């Protein structure tokens, strides 16, 4: 993390323009204020899925624990093999995975061995069964080149080649995904220390919003943002506190802020940041906490408030349903992962694809169009814009699987141009 600034110091910086904040700068500024959770808990290995490790996991054992075979074949002494002639060896036993042979391999002998079988003492190389010829209590191995033996040790796995005793298997700050779960189990560890879950409170603002189960009056709409936020936050592994809909009245917004700040590490609101007449988020945040308010040079998602409410981090997202998703993915996701203690932050998968239809765009801001990315028959990638791109039109998001990101210097783009796409889903 870069040098911590106070919100006040930041707003005095020379190139700081709150009315046209580039996407990257806003992300970077938010990053300087984030203080990850420190409280931890012990959990059973399965319950660690999706959690962030609060300790380095050291390997208590070597993995693998023994030299063993990587193939089904014959364990031999390399020195018994010949470059210029076949050799016939006496087969003195079989080493199955988990059932090693007890004896030391003598010169002139071989042991039948299965994948994962422990190498007998004295054996250093495995000849794969496909090149060997089985006899009556013997096996004949062709000359080295024909046996595909380039060197001593071939087709074997060495004890500790994955992990040596005491080495760091997983680092503090890593999220536990399925591979990490398996790795922890492979070390014989059944409990790990993880950071407590990040508590995130959220509410929607707007007199026009009704919750599910209520009747819609004239001009009213159902609150969808709380559901999108519920989905995105749940996927990130946060503990969520849904505070419902708050009406556009300063006293109501103020009370909701005070409650949220008292119970959550992060507070997310949607709506009420567009500085219209009924938009109180900024004013209340200024009164109760510290605020950075930006007009981000992006579309959709222009107004964004970030600040501190006591110890909690505040994200004031715009009200338009598509803007909520865009600003969440571009600013909030990474911030919440950092606050959760995660130090390895895989970015959303981003790559280039061929645009199938033209897009009109003015330079000066970053645009996030919703796109459908497909793999072409020739193995290349192409992308098409989905539906109407209005920032209130959630179906364009739902039909899409990626953002088409057009940077600030980009103008109109033509069919056939290469554009940057960023997948919605990926490795959190």
Residues in contact with ligand AMP by CB under 6 A are: 204, 206, 208-209, 221, 223-225, 270-274, 276, 318-321, 392
For residues 320 and 382, which CB has a smaller minimum distance to ligand AMP in the complex?
320
CB 285 → ligand AMP: shortest distance, Å?
Answer: 15
330 contact, one of Mg ion, ligand AMP, none, CB 5-8 Å limit per kind: none
CB of 211 within 8 A of CB of 223? Answer: yes
For residues 265 and 279, which CB has a smaller minimum distance to ligand AMP in the complex?
279
CB 246 → ligand AMP: shortest distance, Å?
Answer: 10
For residues 78 and 329, which CB has a smaller minimum distance to ligand AMP in the complex?
329
225 contact, one of Mg ion, ligand AMP, none, CB 5-8 Å limit per kind: ligand AMP
Stretch near Mg ion under the rule CB under 5 A, chosen from 33-41, 174-182, 200-208, 337-345:
200-208
For residues 89 and 296, which CB has a smaller minimum distance to Mg ion in the complex?
296
Give which of 161, 191, 235, 237 is closest to 55, Cα–Cα. Answer: 191
Of 294-323, binders to Mg ion (CB under 5 A) are 319
Q: How far is CA 312 from CA 36, 245, 290, in A?
A: 11, 20, 11
CB 316 → Mg ion: shortest distance, Å?
Answer: 11
Among 117, 142, 237, 271, binds Mg ion (CB under 5 A): 271
CB 207 → Mg ion: shortest distance, Å?
Answer: 7
321 contact, one of ligand AMP, Mg ion, none, CB 5-8 Å limit per kind: ligand AMP
DSSP string over 285-348: HHHHSEEEEEEBSEES--EEEEEEETTEEEEEE-SSHHHHHHHIIIIIHHHHHHHTT----PPP
342 contact, one of ligand AMP, Mg ion, none, CB 5-8 Å limit per kind: none
Q: Is 190 exposed, middle or buried (0-12, 13-18, 19+ CB in 10 A)?
A: exposed
- Residues with Cβ < 8 Å from 231, sequence gap 6 or more? none
Q: How far apart are CA 413 and CA 410, in angstroms?
A: 8
For residues 140 and 274, which CB has a smaller minimum distance to ligand AMP in the complex?
274
Question: Residue by residue, what is the 3-state secondary structure of 189-258?
Answer: CCEEEEECCCEEEEEEECCCEECCCCCCCCCCEECCHHHHHHHHHHHHCCEEEEEEEECCCHHHHHHHHH
CB of 89 within 8 A of CB of 110? Answer: yes
Q: How far apart are CA 9 and CA 1, in angstroms?
A: 17
CB 378 → ligand AMP: shortest distance, Å?
Answer: 41
46 DSSP 8-state letter: G
For residues 322 and 421, which CB has a smaller minimum distance to ligand AMP in the complex?
322
What phi and psi, each to the nearest 5 degrees, are found at residue 336? -70, -35
In the bound complex, which residue of the shown chain has the CB atom lying closest to ligand AMP?
A: 319
168 contact, one of ligand AMP, Mg ion, none, CB 5-8 Å limit per kind: none
CB of 149 within 8 A of CB of 78? Answer: yes
265 contact, one of Mg ion, ligand AMP, none, CB 5-8 Å limit per kind: none
Q: How far apart are CA 60 and CA 194, in angstroms?
A: 19
CB 398 → Mg ion: shortest distance, Å?
Answer: 22
Q: How far apart are CA 348 and CA 418, in angstroms?
A: 19
Q: How far apart are CA 101 and CA 358, in angstroms?
A: 69
For residues 14 and 277, which CB has a smaller minimum distance to ligand AMP in the complex?
277
CB 279 → Mg ion: shortest distance, Å?
Answer: 6
Of 201-240, binders to Mg ion (CB under 5 A) are 206
CA quadruple 238, 243, 244, 247: dihedral sign: negative
289 contact, one of ligand AMP, Mg ion, none, CB 5-8 Å limit per kind: none
Residue appearing with tokens 């010169």: 107
CB 250 → ligand AMP: shortest distance, Å?
Answer: 14
CB 225 → Mg ion: shortest distance, Å?
Answer: 11
Of 11-50, binders to Mg ion (CB under 5 A) are none
For residues 57 and 273, which CB has a smaller minimum distance to ligand AMP in the complex?
273
For residues 120 and 321, which CB has a smaller minimum distance to ligand AMP in the complex?
321
CB 343 → ligand AMP: shortest distance, Å?
Answer: 33
For residues 53 and 325, which CB has a smaller minimum distance to ligand AMP in the complex?
325
- Helix or strand run (H / E) with residue 367: strand 366-375
301 contact, one of ligand AMP, Mg ion, none, CB 5-8 Å limit per kind: none
Binding site residues, Mg ion, CB under 5 A: 206, 271-272, 319
């Amino acid at each position: 993390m870069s040098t911590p600034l106070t919100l006040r110091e930041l707003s005095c910086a020379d190139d700081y323009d709150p009315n046209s904040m580039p996407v990257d700068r806003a992300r970077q500024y938010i990053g300087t204020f984030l203080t990850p959770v420190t409280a931890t808990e012990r959990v059973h290995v399965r319950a660690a899925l999706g959690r962030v490790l609060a300790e380095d996991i050291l390997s208590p054992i070597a993995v693998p624990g023994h030299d063993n075979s990587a193939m089904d074949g014959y364990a031999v002494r390399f020195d018994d093999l010949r470059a210029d002639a076949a050799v016939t060896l006496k087969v003195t036993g079989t080493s199955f995975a988990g059932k090693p042979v007890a004896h030391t391999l003598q010169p002139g002998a071989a042991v039948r061995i299965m994948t994962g079988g422990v190498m007998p003492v004295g054996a250093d190389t495995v000849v794969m069964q496909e090149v060997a010829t089985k006899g009556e209590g013997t096996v004949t191995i062709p000359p080295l080149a024909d046996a595909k033996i380039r060197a001593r040790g071939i087709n074997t796995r060495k004890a500790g080649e994955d992990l040596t005793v005491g080495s760091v298997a997983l680092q503090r700050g890593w999220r536990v995904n399925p591979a990490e779960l398996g790795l922890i189990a492979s070390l014989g560890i059944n409990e790990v220390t993880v950071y407590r879950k990040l508590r995130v409170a959220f509410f929607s603002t707007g007199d026009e919003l009704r919750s599910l189960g209520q009747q819609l009056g004239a001009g009213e709409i159902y609150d969808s943002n709380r559901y999108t936020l519920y989905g995105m936050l749940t996927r990130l592994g946060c503990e969520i506190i849904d505070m419902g809909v708050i009406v556009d009245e300063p006293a109501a917004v103020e009370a909701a802020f005070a409650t949220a700040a008292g119970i959550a590490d992060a507070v997310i609101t949607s709506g009420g940041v567009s500085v219209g007449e009924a938009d109180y988020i900024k004013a209340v945040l200024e009164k109760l906490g510290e605020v950075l308010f930006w007009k981000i040079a992006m579309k959709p998602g222009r107004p964004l408030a970030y600040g501190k409410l006591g110890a909690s981090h505040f994200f004031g997202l715009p009200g338009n349903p598509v803007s909520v998703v865009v600003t969440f993915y571009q600013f909030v996701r990474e911030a919440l992962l950092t606050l959760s203690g995660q130090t390895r932050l895989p970015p959303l998968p981003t790559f280039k694809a061929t645009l199938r239809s033209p897009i009109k765009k003015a330079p000066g801001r970053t645009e996030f169009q919703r796109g459908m990315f497909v793999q072409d028959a020739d193995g290349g990638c192409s992308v098409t814009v989905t539906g109407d791109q209005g920032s209130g039109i959630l179906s364009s998001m739902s039909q899409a699987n990626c953002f088409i990101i057009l940077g600030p210097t980009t103008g109109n783009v033509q069919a056939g141009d290469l554009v940057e796409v960023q997948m919605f889903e990926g490795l959190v």
